[in-house]
Amino acid sequence: MEKRTCVVCQGLFAPKSRNQKTCCKECAEIAKKQYQYTYRKEHRAEEDGAAERKTPQERMELLSKHAREAQKMRLSYGQYMARKRMEAK
């Protein structure tokens, strides 16, 4: 098999298996820890944004709901939102 560059120490090594990315056990451990760390980081970011995140469609529905309410009250959308903001205070 062709020699590869270790993803951790950048040293050349002869892989024993197809998906071996590191030259030795120590480097494999480091790579594993790095992988877990980045995975956790990405995962946490997802959770943080979950509450706030809405799909464009959901946002549009919310918008049109407000627009309908505004129409009912014979207000422009801007006036309606201004009133809502006043009420929220």
Instruction: List own/partner pairs for 58-65 with CB under 8 A and 24 or more apart.
Output: none
| Shortest distance (Å) from residue 38 CB to Zn ion | 18
Instruction: Tell me the C-alpha to C-alpha distance, in Å, between residue 4 and each of 14, 26, 42, 48.
Output: 6, 16, 28, 38
Q: With CB under 5 A as the rule, give the number of residues binding Zn ion.
A: 5
Beta carbon of residue 22, minimum distance to Zn ion (angstroms, whole number) = 5
Which residues inside 13-72 make contact with Zn ion, applying CB under 5 A? 23, 27
Q: Which residues bind Zn ion (CB under 5 A)?
A: 6, 8-9, 23, 27
